[in-house]
Amino acid sequence: MSGLTTSYRSPRYAPRRGAVGRLLARDSPLRRMDWVLVAAAVALSGMGSLLVWSATRSRTDINHGDPQYFLVRHLVNLAIGMGLCGGVVLLGHHRLRTIVPFLYGFAVLGVLAVLSPLGSTVNGAHSWIVLGGGFSVQPSEFCKIAIILGMATLLSARVDAGEVDHPQGKAIVQALALAAVPIGVILLMPDLGSTMVMVVIILAVLLASGAPTRWLLGLIVVGGAGAAAVVELHLLKQYQIDRFAAFADPGLDPAGVGYNTAQARIAIGSGGLLGQGLFHGMQTTGQFVPEQQTDFVFTVAGEELGFLGAGLLIVLLGVVLWRACRIARDAGDLYSTIVAAGVVAWFGFQGFENIGMTLGIMPVAGIPLPFVSYGGSSMFAIWVGIGLLQSVKMQRITPS
């Protein structure tokens, strides 16, 4: 018997897996993550850090004499955002479902606080709460997450329970009412950019939920009527009206209402194929483009990195949307599908609107470029969105 060998080994004496082995095991959560999505998001954030640094390093009027002032804060915001992403992945979007009422209430209270004496006006938009020490919060960013999770919870409850095939009228009305509350408050600020993003999110959520077409058509009609009412009731601020006028007539008052878009197009056009080089853009170093670290950060990419660099940024954003669409398609239940679809609509429209307004194909609406623009609230919310996508991917119900 001593010459005989066997491949069997008692579990008692089986070699123990080390930490690396456990992480790389077939059933490890890390193996179920979408690493392409993570890589694209991190690459976008890295490009954003360089662009924000370039846009602010010579701005002694806002960087307090420290060329790295905005870079350091941007990296801190990024680290916190990625930490929030990890927290969402560990907690799971299904567990978040149980605390949606609290998240929604917190978000609504946040935007209501903006209308109180706590609110502050930044660049004409009364949508901020200044915390001191140079830090501020824009609660409307977190309302996007609350709307996605809240509507997904209401629309999917009976469908995922197997009671109905698609959301019924009562659930749809409740979901629309849930979304209408924060949107109504945000319109009073007024924050037109955030409102536009939320309307697109609502349409995408209803479409992903399988709601009857008549609801989508009805919502579009109501939205059009509401936009007309906003204009007729003069709810828009003069600077917002001027932005639409400049969009309709690109040559309108290039030294006044059309200045931002005119300078943005000059900066992007001067970049050529390869750009003028990082930190060497004449429009950027000359401080000709306003708010270049936030709303108009894409102009830095166009001028200093050229067509290829700006194109790479768009490709990376496209990769994020592609992976997010795959996650939504492969989700195991309606709740997960709606959550992922809402994030896709959010990232996609906000990116299109931001880049479009710098190119003159969309009106200036004052919303940040996902992953790239400077701003803590936006960075936190965007990475929470990535966390939701990863949670949907990792918790997908696979056939046995």
Place of tokens 């307004």: 357
- Residue 19 banded pLDDT, cuts 50, 70, 90: very low
Write the pLDDT tens digit of every residue in 291-341. 899 999 999 999 999 999 999 999 999 999 999 999 999 998 999 999 999
pLDDT classification of 11: cutoffs 50, 70, 90: very low
How would you classify residue 236: left for phi > 0, otherwise alpha for psi between -120 and 50, otherwise beta? beta
Q: Does the residue 24 lie in any domain?
A: no
Token digits for 34? Answer: 């979408």
C-alpha distances (whole Å) from 249 to each of 4, 265, 353 are 89, 14, 18
Greater pLDDT, 250 or 64: 64
Q: Is residue 235 part of a domain?
A: yes
Compute how many other C-beta atoms are within 10 angstroms of the C-beta atom of residue 103.
16
Residue 58 maps to a domain? yes
Question: Contact, 186 vs 195, CB < 8 A?
Answer: yes
200-220: pLDDT as tens digits? 999 999 999 999 888 888 888
Cα 101 from Cα 276, distance rounded (Å): 50
Whether pLDDT at 226 is above 80: no
**What confidence score (pLDDT) does residue 12 get?**
42
Full DSSP string of 325-386: HHHHHH-SSHHHHHHHHHHHHHHHHHHHHHHHHHHTSS-----PPTTTS--HHHHHHHHHHH
How sure is the predictor about 18, in pLDDT bands with cuts at 50, 70 and 90? low
Going by C-alpha positions, the residue among 140, 139, 144, 138 that lies closest to residue 202 is 144
**Number of domains the chain contains:** 1
Q: How far apart are alpha carbons 33 and 371 in whole angstroms?
A: 19
Q: Assess contact for 204 and 152: CB atoms under 8 A.
A: no
Please state the rounded mean pLDDT for residues 34-62.
Answer: 94
* 182 occurs within a structural domain: yes
Q: Cα–Cα distances in Å, from 298 out to 106, 109, 391?
A: 32, 32, 30
pLDDT digits (tens, 9 = 90+) for 358-378: 988 888 888 999 999 998 999
Q: Is the pLDDT of residue 2 over 50?
A: no
pLDDT of amino acid 5: 41
- Position 158 pLDDT exceeds 60: yes
Instruction: Give pLDDT, residue 4.
Output: 41
Q: pTM score, two decimals? A: 0.88
Phi-psi map region of 367: left, alpha, beta (phi>0 left; psi -120 to 50 alpha): beta
Between 148 and 24, name the one with better pLDDT: 148
Q: 243-272 burial, b for 16+ CB within 10 Å, e for fewer?
A: bbebbeeeeeeeeebbebbbbbbbbbebbe
3-state class percentages of the chain: helix first, strand second, coil last, to nearest 5: 65, 5, 30
| DSSP β-bridge partners for residue 132 | 135
Residue 72 lies in a domain: yes
- Determine the pLDDT at residue 233: 65
Q: Is residue 12 a part of any domain in this protein?
A: no
- Please calculate the CA angle 191-194-196 and round it to the nearest 5 degrees: 105
| CB atoms closer than 10 angstroms to residue 345 | 26
**Selected residue with higher pLDDT from 13 and 340:** 340
pLDDT higher than 60, residue 25: no
Please give the structure tokens belonging to residue 101.
Answer: 């009422």
Q: Which helix (H) or strand (E) holds 122?
A: strand 119-122
Distances (CA, A) of 227 to 26, 196, 249, 362: 52, 11, 20, 17
DSSP H or E run through 212: none
Residue 9's pLDDT band, with cuts at 50, 70 and 90, is very low
**Residue 71 burial (CB count, 10 A):** 20
384 falls within a domain: yes
Q: Find the farthest-apart pair of alpha carbons in the chain and give their distance in angstroms, rounded.
A: 97
Domain span at residue 303 reads 34-393
Q: What are phi and psi of 172, to 5 degrees?
A: -65, -45
Q: Is the pLDDT of residue 178 over 50?
A: yes
Please state whether the peptide bond connecting residue 254 to the residue before it is cis, i.e. omega within 30 degrees of 0.
Answer: no
Inside any domain, residue 131: yes
Residue 204 is which amino acid? Answer: A
Distance CA 174, CA 197 (A): 20
DSSP state of 236: S
Across 16-20, 25-29, 329-333, least confident range:
16-20
Judged against a pLDDT cut of 70, whether residue 395 lies above it is answered with yes
Q: 258-262, long-range: CB within 8 Å, 24+ apart, which pairs?
A: 259/290, 260/289, 260/290, 260/291, 260/296, 260/364, 261/357, 261/358, 261/360, 261/364
Element containing residue 137 per DSSP (H, E): strand 135-137
Residue 399, pLDDT > 70, answer no
pLDDT at site 386: 97
Is residue 197 scored above 90 in pLDDT?
Answer: yes
Region 171-180 average pLDDT: 94
pLDDT at residue number 121:
72
Q: In whole angstroms, what is the distance from residue 199 CA to residue 223 CA?
A: 8
pLDDT per position as a tens digit, 95-146: 999 999 999 999 999 999 988 888 777 666 677 787 766 678 889 999 999 9
Mean pLDDT of the chain: 85
Give the pLDDT score at 99: 93
